[in-house]
Structure 1
Amino acid sequence: MEKIIAANVNKWLEGNYDAETKEGIKKLQENDADELADAFYKNLEFGTGGLRGLMGIGTNRINKYTIGMATQGYANYLKKCFSGAISVAVAHDSRNNSRTFAEITANVFAANGIKVFLFESLRPTPELSFAIRHYGCKGGVVCTASHNPKEYNGYKAYWDDGAQMVAPHDKNVIIEVEKIASVDDVQWSGGEANIEIIGKETDALYLDMVKGLSVYPEVCTAQHDLKIVYTPIHGTGIMLVPDVLKKYGFTNVHVVEAQRTPDGNFPTVNYPNPEEKETMSIGLEQAKKLDADILLGTDPDADRVGIGVKNDKGEWILMNGNQTALLAFNYMIEARKAKGIAAPNDMVIKTIVTTDLIDRIAEQNNVACYNVLTGFKWISSLIAEKEGTENYIIGGEESFGLMIGDKIRDKDAVSAVAIICEMAAYEKNKGRSLFDKLVDLYVQYGFYKESLISITKKGMNGAAEIAAMMEGYRKNPPATINGIAVKYLLDYELQVGKDLVENKEWKITLPKSNVLQFELADGTKISARPSGTEPKIKFYFSVNTTLASAADFHATEKVLDDKIEVIIKEMNL
């Protein structure tokens, strides 16, 4: 390892890197050997979704050199796949250095003879997906690290359908990127004439598309004064969310001023993720003060949305991603049916770690519900496969992501905010709240409660520790959890399902993915999945029971929450 680190350091000190970078390396050599080692012990991996990591000097960091080399490899692959004129779209979020990285990306593509549609300034990630499809591009890149802390940045690569890449392109791009052995292999400049700046005209087209998703525009008009509090959490949502709410007809929108301005330092939060209560706390305070109907927050690249509502006690609560998805899926099924626009071939798509209550609702309403691997690229891939035979309505996953309609092919918090506000207006028109609706769904279909914990393993040994945890569960699955027999083990990496009680096996037809699921005899489901973009392993828990009436909600919720806590403790997590 020391030889690898030394070789990488020397390559940078002796190569065509700028003086500031070389001076930074020397300072690390003198003052921080551990940081130097972590920055140079490996190359930052270009995974199936692109790059994500800490910003800084080194082969294992996000910087102009790793961004440029990744783009050169991607450009080489595009030129292998497509003949004639090739174009791409490039966007970025509000993070520190994101504009610089987007311009480097655009310059490298352009120097390779590829036309680039570069957004004039920061834009939500879903608009990048929309632009790829609208302009007929062969690919695209957005420079973002989504909801990660301020020290991170990233590079998400897209294909010609506006989705992140799946096989064979995902692996083939990685091969091409790994062939770029030196910064000298990169064409850094010389094609500036190939860059076209886009902005407001694309915004207008995108906003029109989102407006077209509305099922009950007349309800939005009737409830135009729905009191909405919105926070962009210093991100790109400010560019489009207020505009789309205005387009839907809402006139009583309050943006959280302390978090309005795009800022890559995210000064009011530790972690710019709408999943976190601390991140949404300023918005919650404003919602309380204004006695709002709903609170919404989007992450820095505006592909995730978190919502806050008042419960039956008048207390403000944040819904988890499964609850948000449940409400959105149900609305698109129920409202289309009530409006008379439901089609017999309607379908919805969710991921294998998203609440199974959606499956039950879809089944009861005769709507096909498909389960795919985690990640919107798999939802998009299935849409493409079913195109022309089935009518896609909505897709989503528990990590606060929704994709409504098929005009884009990635999760979209801008359209999600619009539809969620329409949902709130739809219920308010009946004298009810979204919380009331959620409880009604639990009474009607069953009370499913989900929880997630993430365990972070940083540094050089982190990946090995996570791999060891997964291997342990794979080779020695527990026979019981919380005194309940583990009936099924689903191993998506080996593509094998096992009935541990009856000793039977079957093949899982989804693509390989390092995910394990334990299904217990009482319907409990536990999933383990290492993150593909962060040094984390995530554990998903789902328990369920019947809910006799709305009056029993809080007592029943406590029973389910306690059950999850016991399971977590028993698994030593």
Structure 2
Amino acid sequence: MTTLEKAKLWLTDSFDQETKNTVQNWIDTGSDELEDSFYKELEFGTGGMRGIMGVGTNRLNKYTLGQATQGLANYLHSQFPGEEMKVAIAYDVRHNSKEFGKMCADVLTANGIKVLLFKQHRPTPELSFTVRDKKCNAGIVLTASHNPPEYNGYKVYWNDGAQIVPPQDGAIIKEVHSVKFDEIKFNGNDDLIEWIGEEQDQVYIDACMKNSLYQDIGRDNLNIVFTSIHGTTYTTVPQALEKAGFKKVVLVREQMIPSGNFPTVESPNPEEPAALEMALDLARITNGDIVIGTDPDGDRLGIAVRNLEGELQLLNGNQCNTILTYYILDQWQKAGRITGKEFIGSTIVTSDIFYDIAKKFGVDCKVGLTGFKWIGKMIRDFEGKEKFVCGGEESFGFMTGDFVRDKDSCGSILLACEIAAVCKAQGKTMYQYMIEIYEDLGMYYEGLVNVVKKGRTGAAEINQMMSDFRNNPVKELAGSKVIEIKDFQEQTSLNLADNQKSVMDDIPKSNVLSYYTEDGTKVCIRPSGTEPKIKFYVSVKDTVISEDDFEKKLIEAEDKIQRIKADLKL
């Protein structure tokens, strides 16, 4: 079906007059919007279905979300025939999120499914927790994570509290694609809606404390600066810190106001130093020991701590997760909780230091594709056989325990603040604790390059770039010879020493390439599943002898990453 033919379907009586007027105007004027809005259907990527809000099959709107929810309802009826079903729904601060949440609830209740609907914005991890806590059959959260304000999104969780993965996601998507727009049941039944809110926050916060805290040392002497960056965690994190006994918490008041415009930042992404600038400024005035910010749906967190010069410095995602993972396993080991049947979770684009941490403490490190849904799948696959301890990925996400089956900033913040408090009580900083870990295991340092390619032509350019890196691989990176290429789409590993290929069928197919060099450098290349960009994850390795040696090694690592970028022509 051509783009124009797909667009004309939106001129029928299944659509409201405003939608029909917009489509007709695009057709009459030959607008480029028609092509971008209808050339494809939104797909489920690493973080669910995410896109720009507006009219069309390639946009987030009442009809694409209604179609997805009707398809989910149909699938639920096929999986739980004759049962009374429940679905929990949460939404973040983005434009239309609350309205979209109620609309999804209406579609489900119109299909005879009970809905637990949050009264106001709530973080994504609280939704994941609630699905399990309330024994729901599924969950939905309306969020576009850290994307720009014009975006929104839709994530689906199954009854274990984790996001859907293959083959289940494929089965649901098949149901979604089979739904015609005139088959969507929009006339809901409010009698089937149970409104939830503050009482559920307390249950969730208690679970975060139980799974994230180990030592009650120095909590009343740690200076914390926190910002929700206009997102959902204003509802949970300040309460959690207070309840855990952290007495000195300063909030960035201007950014604790929920807003889909994110008025004080260019991007509400805690991976970006600029997103935490107001918090950093406040910490400089208030002598903050640690600065923490979360993204709009409250699953990612950014952390800044005092470096060796006493200046506040933003840690990258791998550094944060290294500190948190090492500390947790150290506490488990000291408590005699490690039996050899425990594991931590990571992803193929995350630092390889997690293999080293796992080996040190005698646990397994399981690695999956990008996205926390794969760590959730690990927990499900090994439930009752191996104990999940914690997991993280480079994109500023971490989870403590399995009570939440997605990255969780609240539990991670409690843990990070405990570590910072313990370090301060010992006369050192969290940054120095990180250096001690590198002295023990070796230093890994990472850089990320995002190449943005928008629209249909951009998607074609990204495909061509992946094809070029696949068919004409780089032979050397920063002077070190490439010795292995892993192609996760072909599920093969090519050893360049003997030109032999081996099969990698333990991880599902995905359009990702990884290069490995003789000196331990790793470069992963993958198109984003949620944004119009291709990502290059660069990791280099070195040894650190002492704290005095660290800054020199850091400068060398940063220089090496720049040389690698040049070799990749980025």
TM-score bucket of the superposed structures, by smaller chain: over 0.9
> Against the structure 1 CA distance between its residues 31 and 50, is the aligned structure 2 distance closer, same or farther, given a 3 Å change threshold?
same
How big is the alpha-carbon RMSD for the aligned residues of Structure 1 and Structure 2? 1.5
1:233-244 aligned within 5 A: 233-244=229-240
Is the 1:5–1:41 Cα contact (8 Å) retained in structure 2?
A: yes
CA contact (8 A) 1:62 1:154 kept: yes
2:8 is matched with 10
> Amino acid of the residue matched to residue 59 of structure 2?
R
Between 186-195 and 332-341, the greater mean CA deviation after superposition: 332-341
Query: Is 1:570 aligned with 2:562?
Result: no
- Alpha carbons of structure 1 residues 190 and 379: separation in structure 2 relative to 1, 3 Å: closer
Kindly report which structure 2 residues correspond to 1:376-387, keeping only aligned pairs within 5 A, or say none. 376-387=372-383
Whole-angstrom CA distance in 1 between matches of 2:71 and 2:219: 51
Alignment counterpart, residue 554 of structure 2, candidates 546, 549, 557: 557
8 Å CA contact 1:49, 1:170 repeated in 2: no
Contact 1:46/1:70 (8 A) holds in 2: no
Q: Does 1:79 align with 2:77?
A: yes
Question: Which runs of 5 or more structure 1 residues have no equivalent in the other structure?
Answer: none
Deviation at 1:289, TM superposition (A): 1.0
CA–CA distance in 2 between the matches of 1:446 and 1:174? 44
Q: Which residue of 2 aligns with 1:170?
A: 169
The offset of 1:375, in angstroms, is 1.2
> What TM-score do the two structures reach when normalised by structure 2?
0.97
Q: Does 1:284 align with 2:280?
A: yes
Q: For residues 222-261 of structure 1, what are the alpha-carbon distances to aligned partners after superposition, in whole Å with 9 as ceiling and x for unaligned?
A: 3323110000000001010001111211111111011010
Matched residue, 1:393: 389
Q: Any conservation in 1 of the 2:213–2:414 contact (CA below 8 Å)?
A: no
Query: Separation in 2 of the partners of 1:122 and 1:15?
Result: 33
Q: Which secondary structure does the structure 1 equivalent of 2:2 belong to? A: helix
Q: 8 Å contact 2:338–2:362 — kept in the other structure?
A: no
Counterpart in the other structure of 1:135: 134
How many angstroms apart in 2 are the aligned matches of 1:46 and 1:325? 26
Cross-structure match for 1:489: 485
Q: CA deviation at 1:416?
A: 0.8
Letter in 2 for 1:154: G
C-alpha distance in structure 1 between counterparts of 2:363 and 2:376, whole Å: 18
Q: 1:209 — aligned with what?
A: 207
Give the C-alpha shift of residue 10 in structure 1: 2.3
Equivalent position amino acid for 1:421 in 2: C
Q: Which residue number in structure 2 is paired with residue 105 of structure 1?
A: 104
Alignment of 1:259-408 (within 5 A): 259-408=255-404
The number of residues matched between the two structures is: 568
**1:527 match:** 524
Tell me, what secondary structure is at the counterpart of 1:544?
strand
Residue number in structure 2 paired with 1:543: 540
Mean CA deviation greater in 16-25 or 134-143: 16-25
The question of whether the paired residues in 2 share the 8 Å contact of 1:485 and 1:521 is answered with yes
Moved more, 431-440 or 480-489: 480-489
Change (3 A) 1:341 1:42: closer
| 3-state SS, counterpart of residue 89 of structure 1 | strand
Which stretch of the first structure deviates more once superposed, 193-202 or 235-244? 193-202
Identify the residue that residue 497 of structure 2 maps to in structure 1: 501
CA distance in structure 2 between the partners assigned to 1:506 and 1:254 by the alignment: 54
**Inter-partner Cα distance in structure 1 for 2:373 and 2:70:** 23
**Secondary structure at the residue paired with 1:473?**
helix
CA distance in 2, matches of 1:319, 1:101: 35
Residue 416 (str. 1) matches residue 412 (str. 2): yes
Could you give the per-residue CA deviations for residues 482-538 of structure 1, whole angstroms, max 9, x where no partner exists? 332111111111111110112222111211111110000111111001111111111
Question: 2:453 matched to 1:454?
Answer: no
Structure 2 unaligned spans of 5+: none
- Deviation, 1:389, is 2.2
What is the letter of the counterpart of residue 121 of structure 1? Q
Question: 2-side partners of 1:330 and 1:167: how far apart?
Answer: 31
The answer to whether the Cα contact below 8 Å between 1:489 and 1:518 also exists between their aligned partners in 2 is yes
What are the superposed Cα offsets for residues 100-157 of structure 1, whole Å, 9 maximum, x if unpaired? 0000111101101111111111100001101111111111110000000001000011
- The normalised TM-score by structure 1 is 0.96
Please report how far the alpha carbon of residue 15 of structure 1 lies from its aligned counterpart in structure 2 after TM superposition. Answer: 2.8
Deviation, structure 1 residue 47: 4.5
The CA deviation at 1:14 is 2.8
Give secondary structure in 2 for the equivalent of 1:230: strand
1:54 and 2:52 matched: yes
Correspondences of 1:112-131 after superposition (within 5 Å) = 112-131=111-130
330-339 or 65-74, which deviates more = 330-339
Match of 1:40 in 2: 38
Residue by residue, what CA displacement relative to the aligned partner does 1:271-322 show, whole Å, maximum 9, x if unpaired? 1100001111111101111110100000000000000111010111100001
Following TM superposition, by how much is the alpha carbon of 1:330 offset from its aligned partner in structure 2, in angstroms?
Answer: 0.6
Give the counterpart of 2:219 among 204, 220, 223: 223
Match of 1:152 in 2: 151
The letter of the residue matching 2:192 is N
Where 1:431 maps in the other structure, the secondary structure is coil
8 Å Cα contact 1:215-1:336 kept in structure 2: no
